[in-house]
Structure 1
Amino acid sequence: MHTTAYKPHPSEKMKAALWTGTKSIELGEVPKPTITAPKDAIVHIAHCTICGSDLHMYASDLNKVMQQGLIMGHEAIGIVEEIGPEVQNLQAGDRVIILPVITCGECFYCKRNEFSLCDRTNPYKELEHMYGHRLSGIFGYSMITGGYPGDQAEYCRVPNADLTCVKAPKDIDAKKLVGVADVTTTAWHGCELAEVGEGDIVGVWGCGAVGLLIQRLAKFRGASRVYAVDKDIDQLGIAKSLGMIPVDVNEHLYPADYVLSIEPHRLDRGIEASGFRSTNSAAHATMRALGIEVDSSDTANAVIKATRKGWNVALIGDFFYTTNNFPIGMLMEKAMTLRGGQLYAQKYFPFLLDIVVEGKYDPSFMFTHEDNFENISQNYDAFFNHKVPGGLKVCLATAFGRAQK
């Protein structure tokens, strides 16, 4: 294997999306990254996107674990420019998907394919005080996951590149590859945690990109009926067009009760994909506004109530801190299994990439808008305020990505 040593050029700059405070992402110039460890790769970013979980940082929910100037982002594809001397599976010129989870591949959890629980890639010691353990590193996702610079930038340093990059064909549409990097992988993880299988009746709270993909993948895995629960009329319309049964929370204030009224045997699998900011009751909305709770269990309560005794509920919308009025009695007495966690990204490849390449599954529908990377600040504002054209996600092309066409 040919390996090129990377020679740092301190004067080289790149454009990057920088966190500068609440509702403030600025496109700035920072030094281009260099190889700092033998298993690193430098990837020239072609396309990236904004994740719904990026809004936790944008909207101040994670301000206390943010750092001025952190490069945002964890969903991108690009071309390998340089590799470190111990990278074995990549070469300069390879097209790659950058996975969001940074993993060592050697610890107890990585050996169990539980990559987001990696013991070694997150230096943030305070997480041990919060949770008793550290979790893996994640690109561009606050100090709580290691403070790694993200890939909403023209270049990204990828640690442990053999494990964190997936080689991709050069003739596949960029939107399909960006769509499989994180959102599809997270959606598949949700289906895995809930153990969605043939004939199941599934309820998914949330019709953003992740929720919609969970719904589609549940059908892909053989679910007989999938309920799509949300307040957003446009996103509910997309869910209906994909063959789901929409439940409008504006019309049905207590969606669990509504689902139970038409599914007397309850849901087999319930999946929460709307996140800790989602509230429906006045009580939780008030507690969030007053700072009495940080996370909200509103949707989790509904999912647990609507799901069959003894079966599975999965939490995929990000929860970080604490909540009030969590239905621990209902969970225990109904003998249910509740599971959550960040995606095991590396575990689900190459399978997910294969079904995209083979045409069995296409995640690109989630990109209802395309724009230039240089406009990322405006796109954060549009995403936060539900003003992305088409209602879902934007695919951003860097100058390098635009030149590839």
Structure 2
Amino acid sequence: MAAVLPSPITSTDYVPHPTNKMKAARWMGRRDVEIGLVPKPTITDPSDAIIQVTHCTISGSDLHIYEGDLSEAVRKGDIMGREAIGLVEQVGPNVKTLEVGDRVIILPVIACGHCDYCKRKEYSLCDVSNPSKEMQIAYGHRVAGILGHSQLCGGYPGNQAEFCRVPNADLTCLKAPHDVDARKLLSLSDVVSTAWHALELAEVRDGDVVGVWGCGPIGLSIQRLAKLRGASMVYAVDRDPQRLQRAEAFGMIPIDVSVHPDMGEYLLSIRPQGVDKAIEASGYRSTQQPSLAAMRAFGLGRESSDPVSAVIKATRKGGNIALVGDFFFTTHDFPIGPLVQKALTVRGGQSIPQRYQPFLLDLVISGRLDPSWMFTYEDHFENIADHYRRFAEHEEPGGLKVVLVTAFGRSQQPISDITID
């Protein structure tokens, strides 16, 4: 079916702003994102690059901020966004791999490249790029800084804007060909690398039976990449009928949570030995239980243990579990007994996009991987506030991600009409 598109995008839409100003999506409070005119970023460190954004999108992580779940760690006026591509406008004197005019994918994780973690290519655990004292106190350690996330992750301005300052640009920008579809490149900024990271955490191998909780862009990407890695069977768990239909069309076995609320028990009823590898990719939005609101009100836990409990129950003894849905806080009634007694291995963490690139980009360029399917809508960047609302309220059933094109992007290379097979 063809996606519903707004008015045609033409090069005549591009009207430059004063050189020191730009449009940016700013968090103004719970469920309140607005486009504002703010100072254009400048190079503040010799390793910086300034990227003129052509395309960006909204991620599930952005919804944490939009919905106010991280309101104590976000400041009014903070610039949103962690997924974007664009052209290099300026580079600092220490940038070695980029030149003005290069097309780049902006990776969300900021890494120094020199600490012990970065030397082990564990870039999302960088010791240097995140100055947050709050995370140090809450977690005992700081993990890497992330563009457009929160003060917990360094407070870096995001890339839902006409320009973005990218720290340590040699490691945070990935040079990409000018002739590759923007949708394919945009998907590589976060979604595809997170999906691959999930499969690495779960150690999915040839012949494995895999269960994936979540059929959003990341969940569906995990499912498709699991097949590419040789998984023999993939169960796709969700409650959205259109997303489940999409998973089935991709060759997965769909399971509807709304029909089978005890998902762990149901999966064992159809596969008594359990799945070999299980991946949780739905996060905090996977449950609507009234009990969670009550627990949050009384301070007993701010995350739901329901999806993780089902994952633990459905995984075979000695199996592997990966958690890549965003979890930041505490949870209640976590099934530690089954986790320990079944000898399960559980791993989680932010994606490590620098580790998986340019391997994933090469898959796209060679034609072995086409992730453009995840973009089901296209619109002008200036309408981003409306798309936040639509995304949060599930206004478009089964809708996945929107391509948001800046005025500069519209002047460069209009995207062709998006169709869904």
TM-score higher than 0.5 here? yes
In the alignment, structure 1 residue 233 sits paired with structure 2 residue 241: yes
1:204-235 alpha-carbon deviations (Å, 9 max, x no partner): 01111111101111111100110011111111
Q: Which amino acid aligns with 1:163?
A: L
Q: Cα distance 1:129–1:289, how it changes in 2: closer, same or farther (>3 A)?
A: closer
Q: Which amino acid aligns with 1:209?
A: P
SS of equivalent residue, structure 2 residue 302? coil
Residues 242 and 397, structure 2, Cα contact 8 Å, conserved in 1: no
Q: Which amino acid aligns with 1:334?
A: K
Q: Which amino acid aligns with 1:204?
A: V
Q: Distance in 1 between matches of 2:258 and 2:293?
A: 15
Moved over 3 A (4+): 280-286, 288-292
- How far residue 288 of structure 1 moved from its aligned partner, in angstroms, is 4.2
SS of equivalent residue, structure 1 residue 152? coil
Please name the residue that 2:388 is paired with.
380
Residues 241 and 398, structure 2, Cα contact 8 Å, conserved in 1: no
Q: Which amino acid aligns with 2:43?
A: I
- How far residue 140 of structure 1 moved from its aligned partner, in angstroms, is 0.4
Please name the residue that 1:184 is paired with.
192
Which of residues 324, 330, 346 is equivalent to 2:354? 346
Q: Distance in 2 between matches of 1:289 and 1:44?
A: 43
In the alignment, structure 1 residue 143 sits paired with structure 2 residue 151: yes
Residues 369 and 390, structure 1, Cα contact 8 Å, conserved in 2: no
SS of equivalent residue, structure 2 residue 265? helix
After the TM superposition, which residues 217-256 of structure 1 pair with which residues of structure 2 at under 5 Å, given as runs? 217-256=225-264
Q: Distance in 2 between matches of 1:285 and 1:270?
A: 27
Which of residues 97, 101, 118 is equivalent to 2:105? 97
After the TM superposition, which residues 60-139 of structure 1 pair with which residues of structure 2 at under 5 Å, given as runs? 60-139=68-147
- How far residue 287 of structure 1 moved from its aligned partner, in angstroms, is 2.5
Residues 76 and 152, structure 1, Cα contact 8 Å, conserved in 2: yes
Q: Distance in 1 between matches of 2:408 and 2:85?
A: 11
Higher RCO, Cα 8 Å, sep 6+: 2
1:6-50 alpha-carbon deviations (Å, 9 max, x no partner): xxx996100000000000000000000000100000000000000
Q: TM-score, normalised by structure 1?
A: 0.96
Q: Cα distance 1:192–1:243, how it changes in 2: closer, same or farther (>3 A)?
A: same
Which of residues 207, 213, 218 is equivalent to 2:215? 207
Residues 17 and 26, structure 1, Cα contact 8 Å, conserved in 2: yes
- How far residue 284 of structure 1 moved from its aligned partner, in angstroms, is 3.7
In the alignment, structure 1 residue 18 sits paired with structure 2 residue 26: yes
Q: TM-score, normalised by structure 2?
A: 0.92
Q: Which amino acid aligns with 2:204?
A: V
Which segment is superposed worse, 234-243 or 98-107?
234-243
Q: Cα distance 1:390–1:270, how it changes in 2: closer, same or farther (>3 A)?
A: closer
Identity, % of aligned pairs?
61
Which of residues 157, 160, 164 is equivalent to 1:156? 164
Structure 1: stretches of 5+ with no match in the other structure? 1-8
Which segment is superposed worse, 270-279 or 21-30?
270-279
- How far residue 255 of structure 1 moved from its aligned partner, in angstroms, is 1.1
Q: Distance in 2 between matches of 1:287 and 1:75?
A: 32
Q: Which amino acid aligns with 2:387?
A: N
Q: Which amino acid aligns with 2:90?
A: E
Structure 2: stretches of 5+ with no match in the other structure? 1-16, 414-421
In the alignment, structure 1 residue 319 sits paired with structure 2 residue 295: no
Q: Distance in 2 between matches of 1:305 and 1:390?
A: 28
Residues 121 and 137, structure 1, Cα contact 8 Å, conserved in 2: yes
In the alignment, structure 1 residue 39 sits paired with structure 2 residue 47: yes
Which segment is superposed worse, 281-290 or 261-270?
281-290
Residues 280 and 299, structure 1, Cα contact 8 Å, conserved in 2: no
Residues 243 and 398, structure 2, Cα contact 8 Å, conserved in 1: no
1:284-336 alpha-carbon deviations (Å, 9 max, x no partner): 45424665321111100000110011110000001001000111111010111
Q: Which amino acid aligns with 1:73?
A: G
Please name the residue that 1:174 is paired with.
182
SS of equivalent residue, structure 1 residue 191? helix
Q: Distance in 1 between matches of 2:262 and 2:165?
A: 46
Q: Distance in 2 between matches of 1:245 and 1:287?
A: 33
Which segment is superposed worse, 38-47 or 11-20?
11-20
